Amino acid sequence: MQNIIEIKHLSREEKLMAMEAIWEDLLNEEEQIESPGWHKTMLQETEGRFSSGQERILDWPDAKKELRK
């Protein structure tokens, strides 16, 4: 890669702008991104646990508390 920028020398604003530009570029290539098969399997398993009451939805602050336990 010839145009690699040394990120540590960028300001916070410049870093955020670079991230937004990369994200926008990735969104334009959405049809090229294929989710792996295991991902679909995991989503189906989670959906099954949720439907049967074994899985619960947490908001992000509560989820972080649970993960830190």
Q: How does 5-25 read in b/e, with b if 16+ C-beta sit within 10 Å?
A: eeeeeeeeeeeeeeeeeeeee
> Could you tell me the residue ranges of all domains in the chain?
37-68
Region 35-57: mean pLDDT is: 93
Region 41-56: mean pLDDT is: 95
Percent of the chain with pLDDT over 90: 64
CA distance 22 to 18: 6
pLDDT band at 20 (very low <50, low <70, confident <90, very high): very high
Q: According to the model, what pLDDT value does residue 30 have?
A: 63
60 has a pLDDT exceeding 90: yes
End-to-end CA distance of the chain: 42
pTM as predicted: 0.47
CA distance 17 to 5: 13
